[in-house]
Structure 1
Amino acid sequence: MRFRSVRTVLVWALVAAATPAAAATAPAGPRPDCPRLSGNWYGDNRARLQRLIDTRGTCSRPPAGPGSAPWARNAPVAAFDWDNTVTKNDVTDATLAWILRHDRILRPARWKDTSAWLTDDADRALTTGCGTATPVGAPLPTSKGTRCADEILRIRETGRTMSGAPAFVGRWNHRRTVPQYAWVPQLLAGHTLAEVTSYARRARAEALAAPVGATRTVGTHTLPAYVRYYAQQRDLIRTLRRAGFEVYIVSAGSEPVTEVWSRGVGVDARHTIAIRSVLDRRGRMTTRNEGCGGVPATRGEVIPYIDGKRCWVNQEIYGVHGTAAWRRQDPRHRVALAAGDADTDVTFVGDATGAHLVLNRNKGELMCRAYDDADGRWLINPMFLGPLPRRPEPYPCATSAYNAADGGGKPVLRDDGSVVPDQNDSVH
């Protein structure tokens, strides 16, 4: 069990007592029929999550009346990243692999039309690899065209072509987007949401049926063939909902794909937030996605990524629009619990007022904040399936772990401006 100082324990207790929801709690303790968490968690994480459920949920307060939004009816909110937080392995990647194996990418007139930042090198690599024999708008034979599938997968994975040339160049805010994440729904331009949903369903069925640890070859790439829901996260979401929490998914994947998977934990489309493609007049996806925080629809400039996740939480859950959506809100307009596994989640997970749940995948900025535990509310858990070994060297929190908007690395700072010291990896 991870050692916690007396200061941290006292901070946790004081914060719980000081929150508006806890302060208004009259009962001495939760009712015996209150929903309870089960399953194996690291250290005291399950007990601490249960305490949050007991103090913020309906067990410690009378059910609120209906309202137009969670904050309007005082309903507590929990928000989860999806890939590698609720599931083991990435469901967007699993769907893309299925799409490539079944020839569902429609040939664009120009590959550079798929992204505002795609380089000439990437355009040439894709044109050469995928060929020009297929008519524009027709399905590319990626199941047999190894070079085409390879270029698409390598660009998605690394942002580089098979030859190692940069696939994206230009200026973008690195705390609001990453081009290869935005590129996946852009590759699906020309399809309807119903079509993409059907592809995701078939990919999901295959991934759940594949044995744990199974791989498959797409092009010449070896990819995970399986995805699993984490039983502990599924139970946590179920328990939160039974306790009166509104549970949302906030993902940097394609929204129709994420919606297929989120239904498996009882979260509907209205509570699933991901990259939302703009549709054309025929109802087909385009290379543009909806905007947030006063930024209009663009070709990928703003997606639910790092600070973009905060923006979408504020806008879609709490009704905060314009530039204010980029800022941390008051406690009444913030989630009680947030969970994530990567730097893309660090901002919205840090905004939670009750608990910041982190699955340790050795991601620098997120783990710096989690191990620093400045407010005593960070819960670190190894991955429930195939946990990573201990990171041998400390996280470079004091120098370069923060993902700066210009793409560089900077020191991670606390809210008071002090620098987070380098942190050792101890939960694995």
Structure 2
Amino acid sequence: MVAAATAAAAPAAGAAPADPRPACPQLSRHLPWYGDNRAHLQQVVDERGSCAGRGGRPVAAFDWDNTVTKNDVTDATVSWALRHDRILRPESWRDTSAWLTDAADSALTEACGTDVPVGAPLPTSTRPRCTDEILEIREGGRTMSGAAAFAGHWDHRRTVPQYAWVPQLFAGHTVAELSSYARSARAEALAAPVGATRTLGTHTVPAYVRYYDQQRDLIRTLRRAGFDVYIVSAGSEPVTEVWSRGVGVDARHTIAIRSVLDRHGRITTWNQGCGDVPENRGEAIPYIDGKRCWINQEIYGVEGAAAWERQDRRHRPAVAGGDADTDVTFVGDATGAHLVLNRNKSEVMCRAYDDADGRWVVNPMFIDPLPPKPDPYPCSTSAYNEPDGSRGPVLRDDGSVVPDQEDTVH
């Protein structure tokens, strides 16, 4: 009987041996994705993760604002700081940015006043004109009168002055202080109901932020599958670090605008450099091609001018996700899946809809998705952001022009 039982338990002749590899972590089936996007992402997890038995730790990289969260967490921190008088008066507003115009300097000086000492908190909570000027410059790069707030020359694929200006606004504070403001803003924004807004000066701004459940699940699944997951944001790094902890990503895996600190540990208007660009006034932030540079430098150890160039497949993320043109370069570098949340941003949506390698994954925003864009994206003429600020056609790797694309995922 023992022999018979043993024989019955033995595998049939020629049967394949059991697979010793662990089962791949699975994306939740309870969280809705558009079309077959979950299956596409799961396939990359299955093929590239530790469960595939390849060894090593593949990289996944995600933008933060409006990619992992709904709404911008740096803007939420600026909003909180303005309502709590946390912006310190600079000696001259021109000192806050290398590109700030005389018109912006005059507008900020007049609206914010000179009655408080240099280095003291501006009473922005009771001076709506000051708040208005700061928000208008941050949002649109212009003053409340419509004058250009920034002028001069910069590489439009490496920086945008109003993005670089936000950490510069917090000059004089310590990183710990800015982190505390971000924590207060985070608690407030997560408590506000979805859809809530508030009025600052004459500006209406979002009052809430939410983590996207699908992105939280994707990041958690990737990490369980052995991926090294990074956040790469054009926001202020201390602010982004406060929020990235909420999806299990630590400070070492969070890359954003890194301010140079003075000898007292206080934030300055200078930023750390990337590639062959040394410490600077905002010329090389994680923005469009700058995100590639920071990924190559900080994750793969590429030095010098080479950090701005596309690397070989072994030195590129397997998965990358974003929502805007600022993300198009590093998302396009991914070798397994290019995840894009549709916010109607022309250059990245041209790449996504063209789907040249069959690996682009387009999803509507998970909260309050946008309606269809009525006109095609002008991919063949003016969707590409040129370094000099002009617009041109989007080209494939082989030099051919991407045709105009209809907006079909919403």
TM-score by length of 2: 0.94
CA–CA distance in structure 2, aligned partners of residues 302 and 290 of structure 1: 8
Whether the 8 Å CA contact 2:244–2:250 is kept in 1: the answer is yes
After TM superposition, list the pairs within 5 Å mapping 1:191-202 onto structure 2: 191-202=173-184
After TM superposition, list the pairs within 5 Å mapping 1:111-260 onto structure 2: 111-260=93-242
Q: Report SS of the residue matched to 1:75.
A: coil
Whether the 8 Å CA contact 1:143–1:219 is kept in 2: the answer is no
Q: CA deviation at 1:29?
A: 8.1
Find 1:307's aligned residue among 260, 284, 289.
289
CA–CA distance in structure 1, aligned partners of residues 57 and 381 of structure 2: 39
CA–CA distance in structure 1, aligned partners of residues 49 and 222 of structure 2: 8
Question: For 1:348-374, what per-residue CA distance to the aligned partner results, in whole angstroms no more than 9, with x for missing partners?
Answer: 000000010000000000000000000
After TM superposition, list the pairs within 5 Å mapping 1:23-422 onto structure 2: 33-38=23-28, 39-61=31-53, 64=55, 74-422=56-404
Equivalent residue, structure 1, for 2:6:
none
| Number of equivalent positions | 393
Equivalent residue, structure 1, for 2:3:
none
In structure 2, do the counterparts of structure 1 residues 29 and 169 end up closer, same or farther at CA, with 3 Å as the change threshold? Answer: farther
In structure 2, do the counterparts of structure 1 residues 57 and 223 end up closer, same or farther at CA, with 3 Å as the change threshold? Answer: same
CA–CA distance in structure 2, aligned partners of residues 254 and 34 of structure 1: 35
Q: CA deviation at 1:280?
A: 0.2
Whether the 8 Å CA contact 1:189–1:286 is kept in 2: the answer is yes
Question: For 1:327-357, what per-residue CA distance to the aligned partner results, in whole angstroms no more than 9, with x for missing partners?
Answer: 0000000000000000000000000000100
CA–CA distance in structure 2, aligned partners of residues 136 and 246 of structure 1: 44
Whether the 8 Å CA contact 1:280–1:286 is kept in 2: the answer is yes
Q: Report SS of the residue matched to 1:253.
A: strand
The answer to which of 265-274 and 33-42 deviates more is 33-42
Question: For 1:194-237, what per-residue CA distance to the aligned partner results, in whole angstroms no more than 9, with x for missing partners?
Answer: 00000000000000000000011112211100000000000000
CA–CA distance in structure 1, aligned partners of residues 297 and 290 of structure 2: 10
CA–CA distance in structure 2, aligned partners of residues 30 and 152 of structure 1: 59
Equivalent residue, structure 2, for 1:16:
none
Question: For 1:96-134, what per-residue CA distance to the aligned partner results, in whole angstroms no more than 9, with x for missing partners?
Answer: 000000000000000000000000000000000000101
CA–CA distance in structure 2, aligned partners of residues 297 and 147 of structure 1: 33
Whether the 8 Å CA contact 1:29–1:60 is kept in 2: the answer is no
1:349 counterpart letter in structure 2: V
The answer to which of 53-62 and 76-85 deviates more is 53-62
CA–CA distance in structure 2, aligned partners of residues 259 and 31 of structure 1: 34
1:46 counterpart letter in structure 2: R
In structure 2, do the counterparts of structure 1 residues 418 and 201 end up closer, same or farther at CA, with 3 Å as the change threshold? Answer: same
In structure 2, do the counterparts of structure 1 residues 103 and 29 end up closer, same or farther at CA, with 3 Å as the change threshold? Answer: farther
1:133 counterpart letter in structure 2: D
Q: Which ranges in structure 2 are unaligned for 5 or more consecutive residues?
A: 1-16
Whether the 8 Å CA contact 2:60–2:317 is kept in 1: the answer is yes
CA–CA distance in structure 2, aligned partners of residues 134 and 364 of structure 1: 44
CA–CA distance in structure 2, aligned partners of residues 363 and 408 of structure 1: 16
Structure index of larger Rg: 2
CA–CA distance in structure 1, aligned partners of residues 404 and 47 of structure 2: 33
Whether the 8 Å CA contact 1:80–1:86 is kept in 2: the answer is yes
Runs of 4+ off more than 6 Å: 27-30
CA–CA distance in structure 1, aligned partners of residues 144 and 20 of structure 2: 57
CA–CA distance in structure 2, aligned partners of residues 32 and 274 of structure 1: 35
In structure 2, do the counterparts of structure 1 residues 54 and 409 end up closer, same or farther at CA, with 3 Å as the change threshold? Answer: same
2:300 counterpart letter in structure 1: Y
TM-score by length of 1: 0.90
CA–CA distance in structure 2, aligned partners of residues 164 and 95 of structure 1: 25
CA–CA distance in structure 2, aligned partners of residues 333 and 32 of structure 1: 26
CA–CA distance in structure 1, aligned partners of residues 57 and 311 of structure 2: 16
Question: For 1:373-403, what per-residue CA distance to the aligned partner results, in whole angstroms no more than 9, with x for missing partners?
Answer: 0000000000000000000000000000000
Question: For 1:134-183, what per-residue CA distance to the aligned partner results, in whole angstroms no more than 9, with x for missing partners?
Answer: 10000000000111000000000000000000000000000000000000
Q: Which ranges in structure 1 are unaligned for 5 or more consecutive residues?
A: 1-26, 65-73
CA–CA distance in structure 1, aligned partners of residues 325 and 303 of structure 2: 24
CA–CA distance in structure 2, aligned partners of residues 409 and 82 of structure 1: 26
Q: Report SS of the residue matched to 1:252.
A: strand
Q: CA deviation at 1:28?
A: 10
Question: For 1:45-86, what per-residue CA distance to the aligned partner results, in whole angstroms no more than 9, with x for missing partners?
Answer: 000100000110011106x4xxxxxxxxx3100000000000
2:38 counterpart letter in structure 1: R
CA–CA distance in structure 2, aligned partners of residues 28 and 162 of structure 1: 69
Identity level (%): 79
